[in-house]
Copies of this chain bind each other. A is one copy, B any other.
Amino acid sequence: MGSLDGMLLDARAAQRALARTEPGRRTRAIASMAAHLDAARSDVLAANALDLAAATDLSTALRDRLTLTPARFDGLVAAVREVAAMPDPLGEERPLGVRPNGLVVSRRRIPLGVVAVVFEARPNVGAESAAIAVRSGNAVVLRGGSEARRSNAAVVGALRAGLSAAGEDPNAVVLVDDPDRARVAELLQAVGRVDLAIPRGGPSLMAFVDAHARVPVIRHGAGICHVYVDAAADVTMASDIAFNAKVQRPGVCNAMETLLVHRAVAASLLPALGRRLEAAGVELRADAAAAGILDGVAHRAAEPADWSTEFLGLVLAVRVVDSLDQALAHIARYGTEHSAAIVTGDVSAADRFVREVDASCVLVNASTRFNDGGELGLGAEIGISTSRMHAFGPMSARELTAEKFVVRGTGQVRGSA
């Protein structure tokens, strides 16, 4: 644990200092991080090109996630700049009331401490996580996948230079640059050193977390996301939403993996939508009822495992259901509590779907792709929690804080009980 433990202690010291500075200094630090990242543009893109060249055995989805196009890089710098403009959550004091004995009770927002983010592929995660951590007075320990090693080192180097240039301790943002997975286990077991671990990844990483975690964990788990097209759906709207949810960026967690269609609209929706998906390169895996309707559109018979698979690519499972009840039961059984959408013109069906679906984001007449911190108006995100504890859904600066109680009195003592 030698050097990792030292790194965590250094991060803790940097975090304590950061949490006690004025909010304006945290703002300037993030702006400086953004400026240094922007200045490192060619280094970062070159490092990313090297990572892509070395990564010959990645799936299409992982390769897409690893890729930093110039436009994506611009978006990343803009996301960090936006975090500088976000309100500072620390020190916010929320009055709860005055007790009959005169005690004045409030809650005051404080950082969580040292947050470890374990992620795969996407090099933007490091920069967004770092900006959000600094905004909320936390330190962040980043552990990216080996496939993005050069990209992450270039990004984190620029961010740390930005912190130093702003006069802050760069150890508030650190990168664990050792590809051995034993380091992940050490992070997950660093009780008292790591206050929260956020693993972002697929079932293999989550199983590793199940086996090793001792520190508090918020999972950014797999997204087996559903779109349910109700009997009362507008078929054109349903087709557009389903197409967007599957095709617009299929390698990410809020893309649709299973389409459920009410029998009443299956015949009017599926053939045209199926052709549109086929033309976009989507492989359909249809249950028997859907297969019967998809005549003329290429498809395979869905296997039982397809309902529980996060394809992260151009594959879609399709099932025809007899009722809203059947759709709800399917989502309860196979969904991962990430995102689910209903397309319907029936207010009572929409209300029931909103009430009964257990997912971090439930959408009515909108694409699942909107379950994203930026799209929901939170700004950048450090992850999308698929566990209910502490945060559920996209997590931004506010979600990296806790509230302590503050009680102000004039000498009150407690009577006998």
Q: A217: shortest Cβ distance to chain B, in Å?
A: 8
In-complex Cβ contact of A405 among B361, B369, B417 (8 A): B361
* Whole-angstrom CA separation of A363 from B360 in the bound complex: 36
A214: Cβ under 8 A from any B Cβ: yes
Q: Mark A384-398, 1 if CB is under 8 A from B, else 0.
A: 000111101110000
Q: A282: shortest Cβ distance to chain B, in Å?
A: 16
Instruction: Name the interface residues of A201-245: CB closer than 8 Å to any CB of B.
Output: 210, 213-214, 216-218, 234, 237, 240-241, 243-245
Given A354-B406, A392-B404, A417-B249, A365-B210 contact (CB < 8 Å): no
This chain: copies in complex: 2
**In the complex the two chains form, is B375's CB within 8 Å of A414's CB?**
yes
Q: A125: shortest Cβ distance to chain B, in Å?
A: 15
**In the complex the two chains form, is A389's CB within 8 Å of B389's CB?**
yes
Instruction: Name the interface residues of A146-191: CB closer than 8 Å to any CB of B.
Output: 191
A333: Cβ under 8 A from any B Cβ: no
- Residues on the B chain within 8 Å of A411, using CB: 234, 237, 240-241, 365-366
A304: Cβ under 8 A from any B Cβ: no
* Whole-angstrom CA separation of A96 from B403 in the bound complex: 20
Which residue of chain B lies nearest to A374 when distances are taken between CB atoms in the complex? B417
- Residues on the B chain within 8 Å of A348, using CB: none
A277: Cβ under 8 A from any B Cβ: no
A268: Cβ under 8 A from any B Cβ: no
* Whole-angstrom CA separation of A149 from B97 in the bound complex: 38
Given A110-B358, A210-B191, A355-B91, A407-B377 contact (CB < 8 Å): no
In-complex Cβ contact of A414 among B72, B75, B218, B248 (8 A): B248
**In the complex the two chains form, is B112's CB within 8 Å of A375's CB?**
no
**In the complex the two chains form, is A363's CB within 8 Å of B416's CB?**
no
**In the complex the two chains form, is A407's CB within 8 Å of B216's CB?**
no
For chain A, which range describes its interface: under 10, 10 to 19, 20 to 34, or 35 or more residues?
35 or more
- Residues on the B chain within 8 Å of A387, using CB: 216
- Residues on the B chain within 8 Å of A409, using CB: 363-366, 370
**In the complex the two chains form, is B196's CB within 8 Å of A389's CB?**
yes
- Residues on the B chain within 8 Å of A350, using CB: 408
A402: Cβ under 8 A from any B Cβ: yes
* Whole-angstrom CA separation of A82 from B173 in the bound complex: 47
In-complex Cβ contact of A417 among B75, B97, B195, B402 (8 A): B75
A376: Cβ under 8 A from any B Cβ: yes
**In the complex the two chains form, is A363's CB within 8 Å of B393's CB?**
no
**In the complex the two chains form, is B413's CB within 8 Å of A99's CB?**
no
**In the complex the two chains form, is B414's CB within 8 Å of A402's CB?**
no
Residue picked from A214, A392, A405, most chain B C-beta under 10 Å? A405
Closest 8 CB pairs of A and B: A366-B409, A244-B413, A388-B402, A369-B414, A237-B411, A390-B390, A361-B405, A363-B407
* 10 A–B contacts, CB within 8 A, in A order: A97-B377, A99-B377, A110-B388, A113-B388, A213-B214, A216-B387, A244-B413, A360-B405, A390-B390, A392-B402
